[in-house]
Amino acid sequence: MHNNWKIVGENLNSFFGTVSERCQSILSLSYKYLPQYLRACFLYVGGFSKDMEIDVSKLIRLWIAEQFIKVRSNKRLEVVAEEYLQELIDRSLILVGKQRANGRMKTCKIHDLLRQLCIREAQTDNGLNVINGDFAKAIYYSMQHSSRITRTFIPMPYFRLVFPKRIFSIVSELKLLKVLDVLSIECEFSCVIPELVHLRYVAARIEKALSLAKLRNLQTIILQSLEETELKHPVDIWTMSEIRHVDIGLPLYISNPLDAENHSNGEHPLFLNNLHTLYLHYSPFVEEIITRSPNLKKLKITDRSEHPIFDSLSLLHDLETLQIATFDPMIFSGDIFPPNLKKLKLSYTRLPWEVVNLLANLPSLEVLKGNDAFKGTNWRLDEDVVFRKLKHLKIVAGDLQRWEAGSDNFPMLEQLILHQLRDLEEIPESIGDIMTLKFIQINCCGSGVDTSATKIQEEQQSLENYELQVQITPMKSNIFCYFEVYSKGSTFSQQPDLARATTPVAWNSWDKKPLRNRETVKVPLVRRVIEVSRRASKLLKRTLMGFGKDRPM
């Protein structure tokens, strides 16, 4: 009997092995029939981790940095790259992952069999070296012996746990690098980056002043300072004519372009005409920087104090995505925004609802998000206020109590998301009559909002409309309800009114420290949770740094 089962097992292994081989053979044909311009892009995706959701915007920046994308019909390289990606999706070689609020692709992924094909074909062409992260010595040896030809260095998540101190010495030997993405590694790279003169893409952490004068080909720069550093040096980008994407995190900031012009004898004004994406975190030179970046497509501004930036915003005719976060109330009219704006996210701006209504004049606006961004207890939309193309509306926190609107105010709305509006009485009943509405999400709002959302869904189902999905999270735990508002893109030192407020407190049993009561934001608890998490992270980091070292006798 044992021998019979052994024979069956061998036959099954043979059968499944044959099936796998046939699958690989068919997939290989799919690759061989790919146009030449798509092959490198496809193989590149195989370098990412198994089952990983790949950020599409990042993938496109990497493709451009690798010079895989060629000019097509005078289109921007980013547009051509999106076309390449769509061609791979149409051929079922790349899978669509998550989608953005406006329906565009946010992430993509690749089937494991196709990933294996990518790795096999790339290794055949000596184009990709996927290193097993299980053995630190193997990684170090492999990287040492590929330093002459390596053009891209992107450690996957497991690499952070394998002797991170060695990464510095590894990267310093990769003289021909075009892409360096080590942002996930908490190591210092400011001494290495200036010497890698072929870099086109860099994402790293630094703790010293950084000179980028030699990096003339740089297209993407993403820099963050190491935790607890007091670095306050400016980053000079004004001689980089090829720069396309800039994200400089606190406490770093982009240098004053006026100083750069004076340094160059002021012969010509310095403009970054290729810059399309810019993230400004508390820059003291916001207006000057925006004025010299005329072709921006995406702009994110985080600011503690009011700067005269609004006149310069109106000059950005190509701007499609704008995010503004400020911790001082801003006073401005609704007509300062660029006319081609498609996505607008505001945080802590405290705009009156009358000004919000003026945003309906933006003819291309598809996404509107407000995070504690609007003030006033009554939002009334008259018949002449029409958000003609708005598909996604998200409102988080605020003092809104009464919302008066009709289906004609939002004729194209697909998604309505309301979070932490505990004073809001209800959702306008006529919102349910919007023909395009597909999804309503209610999170930690009052019972009247929950009831009205359920009623809208029931009425639509009675009309045989089963496409409308309603998701409700009742207001049970204030901790989780308020955590979203004050944890994304902000620190508690930037919420002075909340931090200093004197209100009744309750006691929390797990740490015996006072909490604010139900009527106030649970800032102390959330702060302590974050502090505990940071301490645990530091302890783990120190443990890993010492892993493998000889213990003192």
pLDDT band at 315 (very low <50, low <70, confident <90, very high): confident
Determine which of 235-244, 463-472, 539-548 has the lowest per-residue pLDDT on average. 539-548
**320 contacts: CB under 8 Å, gap ≥ 6:** 297, 298, 340, 341, 342, 343, 364
Once rounded to an integer, what is the mean pLDDT over residues 196-202?
94
Q: What per-residue confidence (pLDDT) applies to 328? A: 65
Average of per-residue pLDDT across 100-110: 91
- State how far the Cα of 207 lies from the Cα of 186, in Å rounded to an integer: 10
- State the Cα–Cα distance between residues 295 and 276, nearest whole angstrom: 6
Phi and psi torsions of 299, nearest 5°: -135, 130
So what's the pLDDT on residue 402?
Answer: 97
CA distances to 256, 258, 265 from 262, in Å: 10, 6, 5
Give me the chain's average pLDDT, please: 78
Residue 546: the pLDDT is 44
pLDDT band at 120 (very low <50, low <70, confident <90, very high): confident
Of 271-285, 387-401, 451-465, minimum mean pLDDT range: 271-285
- DSSP 8-state code for residue 335: T
DSSP structure string for 484-515 = TTTTSS--GGG-HHHHH----EEE-TTT--EE
pLDDT of the residue at 2:
54
Beta bridge partners of 279: 247, 300
Phi, psi of 367 (to 5 degrees): -130, 130
Question: Domain-by-domain residue ranges, the chain?
Answer: 23-115, 491-545
**pLDDT at residue 109, rounded to an integer:** 94
Q: What pLDDT score was predicted for residue 523?
A: 38
The residue-averaged pLDDT of 302-311 equals 66
Q: What is the pLDDT of residue 344?
A: 96
Question: C-alpha distances in angstroms, 142 versus 57, 159, 551?
Answer: 30, 13, 27
- What integer is the mean pLDDT of 56-75? 93
Which CATH number fits the domain 23-115, given the four candidates 3.40.50.10800, 1.10.10.10, 2.102.10.10, 1.10.3210.10? 1.10.10.10
Pairwise CA distance, residues 489 & 486, whole Å: 8
pLDDT band at 308 (very low <50, low <70, confident <90, very high): low
- List the structure tokens of 285: 């030179």
Which residues have C-beta within 8 Å of that of residue 442, sequence separation ≥ 6? 418, 419, 449, 450, 453, 470, 471, 472, 473
Average pLDDT over residues 12-37: 69
How far out from the chain centre does Cα 88 lie?
23
Residue 284's pLDDT is what?
A: 76
| Confidence class for position 438, pLDDT limits 50, 70, 90 | very high
Residue 141, pLDDT > 60, answer: no
Residue 406's pLDDT band, with cuts at 50, 70 and 90, is very high
**CB neighbours of 336 closer than 8 A, spacing ≥ 6?**
310, 311, 313, 314
Euclidean distance between CA atoms 352 and 416, whole angstroms: 20
Q: How far apart are CA 364 and CA 358, in angstroms?
A: 13
Q: In terms of DSSP bridges, do strands 505-507 and 514-516 run parallel, antiparallel, or are they unpaired?
A: antiparallel
pLDDT at 201 over 90: yes
Please indicate whether residue 441 or residue 167 has the higher confidence score (pLDDT). Answer: 441
Higher pLDDT, 154 or 222: 222
Q: How far apart are CA 357 and CA 385, in angstroms?
A: 6
pLDDT score of 271? 87
CA distance 340 to 331: 22
pLDDT at res. 379: 97
Decide if pLDDT at 300 tops 70.
yes
Report the alpha-carbon distance of residue 346 to residue 536 in Å, rounded. Answer: 33
Report how far apart, in Å, the C-alpha atoms of 338 and of each of 5, 286, 313, 512 are: 72, 17, 7, 51
Q: Give the largest CA-CA distance in the chain.
A: 91
The token pair that represents 371 in the structure block: 């995070």
Split at pLDDT 50, 70, 90, the class of 266 is: low
- The residue ranking higher by pLDDT, 9 or 520, is 9
Does residue 414 surpass a pLDDT of 70?
yes
Instruction: Please report, rounded to a whole number, the percentage of residues in the chain having pLDDT higher than 70.
Output: 70
- pTM for this entry: 0.78
Q: Tell me the pLDDT band of 158, cut-offs 50, 70 and 90.
A: low
Confidence of residue 206 (pLDDT cuts 50, 70, 90): confident
Buried b (16+ CB within 10 A) or exposed e, 367-396: bbbbbbbbbbeebebeeebbbebbbbbbbb
pLDDT at 283 > cutoff 50:
yes
- Measured between alpha carbons, how far is 538 from 531 in angstroms, rounded to an integer? 11
Type of residue at 37? Y
pLDDT in tens, 473-526: 987 654 445 444 444 444 333 333 333 333 333 323 333 333 333 333 333 444
Structure tokens at 457: 């869904």
Using pLDDT thresholds of 50, 70 and 90, give the confidence band for residue 263: confident
Q: What is the pLDDT of residue 543?
A: 44
Q: Is the pLDDT of residue 397 over 90?
A: yes
The predicted structure's pLDDT at residue 32: 84
Bigger pLDDT: 547 vs 399: 399
Backbone phi and psi for residue 176, each to the nearest 5 degrees, phi listed first: -105, 15
Short-list 436, 359, 435, 349, CA closest to 397: 349
Q: How far apart are the first and last CA of the chain?
A: 59
Closest CA to 94 of 123, 118, 77: 118
Q: Which of 156-170, 222-236, 262-276, 353-367 has the lowest mean pLDDT?
A: 156-170
What is the DSSP secondary structure assignment for residue 361, as one 8-state letter? G
Residue-by-residue DSSP string for 446-485: -HHHHHHHHHHHHHHHHTT----EEEEE-S--HHHHHHTT
| pLDDT of 194 strictly over 60 | yes
Of 333, 341, 335, which Cα lies nearest the Cα of 316? 341
Write down the pLDDT at residue 303. Answer: 75
Question: pLDDT by residue (tens digit) across 443-458?
Answer: 999 999 999 999 999 9
The structure tokens listed for 388 are 């003609």
Pick from 356, 65, 400, 374: nearest CA to 199: 65
Vertex 295, ends 293 and 299: CA angle to 5°? 70
Containing 181, the helix (H) or strand (E) segment is strand 179-181
In eight-state DSSP terms, residue 94 is S
212 and 99 in contact (C-beta within 8 Å)?
Answer: no
Distance CA 227, CA 362 (A): 40
